[in-house]
Structure 1
Amino acid sequence: MRILVIGQSVRNIALSARSAGHTVVAADCYCDLDLVEAVEAHRLRIEDLFNAERVNAIIESVDPDAVVLGPGVETVRINGYSVMNNSPSRILRVSDKLWLARWLEDRGYPHPATWEREPPHDRRMILKPRRGAGGFGCRIFEGDEVPPGYIVQELVEGIPASASVICDGSDARTIVVNEQLSGTAWLNANEFRYCGNITPLDVDEDTRNRIARIAEEIVAGLGLVGSNGVDFILTENGPVVIEVNPRFQGSLDSVELSTGISVFQAHLNAFDGRLPEDVRNTRFAGRAVLYSSERIRVDCDLRRITSCIADVPAPGSVIGMGEPMLSILAIGSGRDTVMSALKERRDALVSSIQRHG
């Protein structure tokens, strides 16, 4: 198939589609080196993401067999083309953290207490945008009033985790349970910002199976299709559901490196009612998102420092403080091996960038 993948940043989705044997055209706002070297790529402006007419015009110019909508455009209505995503209305509903909290509570799933207004003041709480992903805009709640467009949730302590789930709209299969990196200091990630995954989650099999079953029930119950994710906090008393992501997840790289499965092909197959079977982890894998601690200009191909990176900015790119710089990848026989490799590559990158700018 000739696939167009369009969104703010689509490198992982586009390369997964290409590896699955499809002809891929990508349109995003970064056109990183590893994207443009692998597929036909077109640069978008940020304002294009909020202009449905412009998005549809780009799709018409490519004339693909199917479209996959990535970050920033997942709720745009597309005219005249097959769209391999959850419907915009379903995405908007599931991505509404207040609506989801009530849905989970009604069905008895463990979930943090959630308030739209007038939260109690006798516990630690986190302020979140009512819509949004990746931990962006989340912070400890210290005020008296909840700003418009935000919710407050009880802060749950534990290990951040996620389940990668493929669903056909009524039945679901968890392909893997991941550890989630969040607010990691050595990646310059503030507070609750998403910054990567280690696959699989390094806990006992019974715990992973319990998380997998809960995730399958939730994704199937919501009627989602394709690749979807469920975020958890693993507490001393078991897993607590945090969010549902009705889209491809940032864990795509580590999932494919760990299992060998094509997440993109599993996503497409689900639209035909076919779910993956007997997916197993053959090794540990990690993806870490390195954020910039200052405003920098990239003056060389950063793959000269280490080849184990992705989302590689082109020379001449300017990255603002707090913005994602690139992704670091690693594989190994265990979690500690993967984490050590990620940190070593991070140190080499930061040292070289500080020397040469």
Structure 2
Amino acid sequence: MQAKAPFLIAAVSGRALAASARRAGHAVVVLDFFNDLDTRAFAKRSRACAGPGGFDARLLLQAAETLCPPKACAGLVYGAGFERRPGLLARLARGRRLYGNAPQTLRLVKDPARFFPLLKRLEIPHPETRLTPPSDREGWLLKQAGGAGGGHVVPAAEACRAGRGGYYQRRLNGRCCSALFLADGRGAYLVGFNEQRTADGSHSPSRYLYGGAVSHARLPARIRHEVEAILERLVPEAGLVGLNGLDFMVDEAGQVQVLEVNPRPPATVELYDADCRDSLFEWHLRACDGRLPRGALVRCVQVRAHAIVYAPVPVRVPPRLRWPRWCSDLPRGGLRIPAGAPVCTVHSRGPNPRSAWALAVRRKDVIRSALGAAAA
């Protein structure tokens, strides 16, 4: 019996998608920035293709041609890493079935000059946003078009100038949340709500850097209905398909304010995958084919959290470090990791969001202590 062709996964980190594909019985080839130990274990073949500031286009395209050529590829699934480079995505997808949003959709939702006017036209609430600097920058954030992970966000008052691709957004106070959803280009299915957490400021280069998330965020039913109504308007206009994330604030008045759409499987996929019937990788494929779930998708209501451990100082990973079972994205022994770079991800579960996150924080401290003795 001939083996099934593998799917090609390309993302900053492909480990979570590869694990979900494994649950569904799919073979995968992974091209990402790190080629971590557990990514290699989930993948048929894998390779690191990072360059300065993103994918090395030459390495990425060559590795894809060598490890998963179009004629032997079941399809391309991509994650973070293409927000600023839809042209590279189009080149990678050439000859392959693309399971995910088309490059033109990326261009739409990641261009502030197009996305926020679209929100305004659809009467979707969002923070005041502008391409030119306000006269008084206090209370404003400077963001980078196509930025991901929050590391590109800085207080506008502390920035010299926006530079190419920069835009300004009024800072809001409130809860930073996200919605994980499936879309078929016409409608959406909400998988779950999450509360986003920023990285510990003492161990990260940016106060807005993504630090992790907690599933099953406790939000009023009214908020859920508002988000569902937003997706009902936004999905067909943007042509969103597959797994996506909607980042939003619940402001001090209790109103939903949309910050951005992540038009690809976001990091929060792994907070639900183990508790879903089938796997979210499988549902991503189905949604791209126009099929959304009917009825409950998540079977378990236990809260899950994950948190990223950033190196507090330059470290060398101990060659014989025994990683706890609640760690993932495991770097190889001997690897030098610069200060502020991600080391691994820790995971936790609990009866409620507060306890799940508290356990994740304690586990981050355990890893930091282990790394402290290995400072490079």
TM over 0.5: yes
User: What residue is the counterpart of 1:129 in the other structure?
Assistant: 144
Alpha-carbon distance between aligned partners in 2 of 1:56 and 1:166, rounded to the nearest angstrom? 27
User: Is structure 2 residue 286 aligned with structure 1 residue 286?
Assistant: no
Offset at residue 176 of structure 1 (A): 0.8
After superposition, give the CA deviation of every residue in 1:117-164 in whole Å (9 maximum; x if it has no partner): 142317500000122111122100015753222001100111110111
User: Is structure 2 residue 21 aligned with structure 1 residue 17?
Assistant: yes
Alpha-carbon distance between aligned partners in 1 of 2:350 and 2:29, rounded to the nearest angstrom? 32
Change (3 A) 1:17 1:53: closer
One-letter identity of the residue aligned with 1:117: T
User: What residue is the counterpart of 1:317 in the other structure?
Assistant: 335
Alpha-carbon distance between aligned partners in 2 of 1:261 and 1:177, rounded to the nearest angstrom? 20
TM-score between the two structures when normalised by the length of structure 1: 0.92
Change (3 A) 1:132 1:261: farther
Which of 176, 182, 188 is 1:166 aligned to?
182
Helix, strand or coil at the partner of 1:322: coil
Alpha-carbon distance between aligned partners in 1 of 2:320 and 2:105, rounded to the nearest angstrom? 40
Alpha-carbon distance between aligned partners in 2 of 1:187 and 1:253, rounded to the nearest angstrom? 24
One-letter identity of the residue aligned with 1:150: G
2:310–2:344 Cα contact (<8 Å) kept: yes
Which of 213, 217, 233 is 2:249 aligned to?
233
Offset at residue 356 of structure 1 (A): 4.1
Offset at residue 62 of structure 1 (A): 8.3
Task: Tell me the percent identity.
Answer: 27
User: What residue is the counterpart of 1:120 in the other structure?
Assistant: 135
TM-score between the two structures when normalised by the length of structure 2: 0.87
Which of 79, 95, 99 is 1:70 aligned to?
79
Helix, strand or coil at the partner of 1:92: helix
Change (3 A) 1:210 1:258: farther
2:283–2:292 Cα contact (<8 Å) kept: yes
Alpha-carbon distance between aligned partners in 2 of 1:62 and 1:15, rounded to the nearest angstrom? 24
1:65–1:81 Cα contact (<8 Å) kept: yes
User: What residue is the counterpart of 1:299 in the other structure?
Assistant: 318
One-letter identity of the residue aligned with 1:14: A
Alpha-carbon distance between aligned partners in 2 of 1:356 and 1:250, rounded to the nearest angstrom? 28
Alpha-carbon distance between aligned partners in 2 of 1:250 and 1:126, rounded to the nearest angstrom? 23
Task: Select between 28-37 and 124-133 the one with higher mean Cα deviation.
Answer: 28-37
User: What residue is the counterpart of 2:155 in the other structure?
Assistant: 140
User: Is structure 2 residue 57 aligned with structure 1 residue 50?
Assistant: yes
Q: Which runs of 5+ in 1 are unaligned?
A: none
Instruction: State how 1:176-191 maps to structure 2 within 5 Å.
Output: 176-185=192-201, 188=204, 190-191=206-207
User: What residue is the counterpart of 1:210 in the other structure?
Assistant: 226
2:27–2:44 Cα contact (<8 Å) kept: no
Alpha-carbon distance between aligned partners in 2 of 1:88 and 1:256, rounded to the nearest angstrom? 26
Alpha-carbon distance between aligned partners in 1 of 2:344 and 2:277, rounded to the nearest angstrom? 23
Offset at residue 93 of structure 1 (A): 1.8
Offset at residue 69 of structure 1 (A): 2.5
After superposition, give the CA deviation of every residue in 1:152-203 in whole Å (9 maximum; x if it has no partner): 1100111110111111111111111111112443764621111211001123
Alpha-carbon distance between aligned partners in 2 of 1:145 and 1:37, rounded to the nearest angstrom? 44
Offset at residue 53 of structure 1 (A): 4.6
Q: Which runs of 5+ in 2 are unaligned?
A: none
One-letter identity of the residue aligned with 2:56: L
Change (3 A) 1:135 1:195: same
After superposition, give the CA deviation of every residue in 1:75-133 in whole Å (9 maximum; x if it has no partner): 32222221112111211221113321111112211111111114231750000012211
User: What residue is the counterpart of 1:36 in the other structure?
Assistant: 40
User: Is structure 2 residue 372 aligned with structure 1 residue 354?
Assistant: yes
1:4–1:62 Cα contact (<8 Å) kept: no
Offset at residue 209 of structure 1 (A): 3.6
Instruction: Give the RMSD, CA atoms, in angstroms.
Output: 2.3
User: What residue is the counterpart of 2:354 in the other structure?
Assistant: 336
Change (3 A) 1:271 1:210: same
Which of 250, 264, 283 is 2:281 aligned to?
264
Offset at residue 44 of structure 1 (A): 2.8
Change (3 A) 1:354 1:173: same
Offset at residue 267 of structure 1 (A): 0.5
Offset at residue 73 of structure 1 (A): 4.6
2:80–2:266 Cα contact (<8 Å) kept: no
Change (3 A) 1:29 1:123: closer
2:37–2:331 Cα contact (<8 Å) kept: yes
One-letter identity of the residue aligned with 2:38: D
2:316–2:374 Cα contact (<8 Å) kept: no
